[in-house]
Amino acid sequence: MWPSKITISLYYLSFVLYNILLITPSLSSELCNPNDKATLFQIKQSFGNPYHLASWTNQTDCCHWYSVECDRTNHRDLTFRKLPDLIGQIPVEITKLKNLKSLRLDSNNLSGPIPSFLSRLKKLHSLDLSFNKFSGSVPLSLALFPNLYEMDLSRNQLSGTIPKSFFSSFKLNNVTIDLSHNQLSGRVPTSLGNVYEIYLSRNQLTGDASAWFRNRNTRLIDLSRNKLKFNLSSVEFGLGLEDIDLNHNKIYGSIPPSLAGLTQLQYFNVSYNQLCGRLPTGGQLAQFDQYSFFHNRCLCGAPLTPC
Ligand SMILES: *[C@@H]1O[C@H](CO)[C@@H](O)[C@H](O)[C@H]1NC(C)=O
Ligand SMILES: *[C@@H]1O[C@H](CO)[C@@H](O)[C@H](O)[C@H]1NC(C)=O
Ligand SMILES: *[C@@H]1O[C@H](CO)[C@@H](O)[C@H](O)[C@H]1NC(C)=O
Ligand SMILES: *[C@@H]1O[C@H](CO)[C@@H](O)[C@H](O)[C@H]1NC(C)=O
Ligand SMILES: *[C@@H]1O[C@H](CO)[C@@H](O)[C@H](O)[C@H]1NC(C)=O
């Protein structure tokens, strides 16, 4: 259930809809699909007929409307940008645009819960709702897009726990998920599924992420500035890892020597944890300076002080 009436001022609404149109040549010379045109009218109305959409009228091809573009193959690109006083939440009518591949509503003042009806957009491959004021929890339904490989929900006010099977429910194996800069709490899911890149920095997550690093498919794990607490000593690292950021947590134990065997590793940061023991050497580890390791309980050896 969604609050039926939320009034929001949108100063920077960026809203990109790709591939809205099927290639269905009509008798008229108008490129715009009539069904989509009707839907766009409904969206305009849901946003309170903002002044900036005054060019959206029946007298013109929607491909010529402000913020709407159609390319040569009839795929349409709709962008709402910097529309002051645009009012409303994400209108449910968006789900009628069945061919939508990309939905970008970042950098606005949108609030309320993230609508789970978005997952009806079966062709969506990219969803960007970052830099808004969305609150409530992350709905499990958001992991059920069959074609999604980019999801950015960062810099909102999302709270609650991440559903247990959230990461393992994504279908594709090249998914990038950004949930950083929110107020998510509770234990992290034990499995990262097949996620390719995960950004969870600056939340209040607790629990054990030690099983996440095994995945051969995962490239990037950013868990910095949370409250995770697990023993790093016997963590296994998948060979595809390029970027590991664990700074500012409560991780204990020691740094496994196997880390030196990660040939792709470009960034590593375990500073501000509770780690102890001698730093392993060799391989990619040689490139990291003290700022990757400082502020731990008792780590020692180059580039820190000798043991
Ligand atoms: C968002 O809305 C609030 C009040 O509703 C307003 O003070 C603020 O300036 C708005 N922010 C942006 C980026 O438009
Ligand atoms: C646009 O024209 C169609 C067909 O004449 C009509 O059904 C529809 O109500 C009109 N929409 C608006 C918003 O004027
Ligand atoms: C992710 O995989 C899908 C399906 O195989 C593919 O269409 C898409 O281009 C891939 N995206 C990236 C960023 O690699
Ligand atoms: C962490 O795990 C290692 C290896 O399993 C074990 O030897 C060590 O005692 C553990 N450290 C702590 C603080 O529990
Ligand atoms: C690791 O994180 C800490 C804390 O944010 C930061 O001060 C340090 O510069 C980072 N190290 C590297 C190598 O970026």
210, 229, 232, 234: which to mutate for ligand 4, most atoms within 8 A of CB? 234
Question: Which residue's CA is the closest to the ligand 4 atom numbered 12?
Answer: 253
- The pTM of the full predicted model, rounded to 2 decimals, is 0.85
Atom of ligand 3 nearest to the CA of 149: 1
Atom of ligand 4 nearest to the CA of 231: 1
State the pairing for strand pair 126-128/111-113.
Answer: unpaired
Q: What is the pLDDT along the chain (307 residues), one digit of tens a residue?
A: 222 222 222 223 333 333 333 333 444 567 777 888 888 899 888 878 877 788 899 999 887 887 666 654 544 444 454 444 455 688 898 888 777 788 888 877 788 899 989 989 888 888 989 988 899 999 999 999 999 999 999 999 999 999 999 999 999 999 999 999 999 999 999 999 999 999 999 999 999 999 999 998 999 999 999 999 999 999 999 999 999 999 999 999 999 999 999 999 999 999 999 999 999 999 999 999 999 999 999 999 999 999 9
Distance from the CA of 162 to the center of ligand 1, in angstroms? 28
Q: Enumerate residues lining ligand 4, CB below 6 A.
A: 231, 233-234, 252-253
Question: Which residue's CA is the closest to the ligand 1 atom numbered 14?
Answer: 11
Question: Which residue's CA is the closest to the ligand 1 atom numbered 6?
Answer: 9
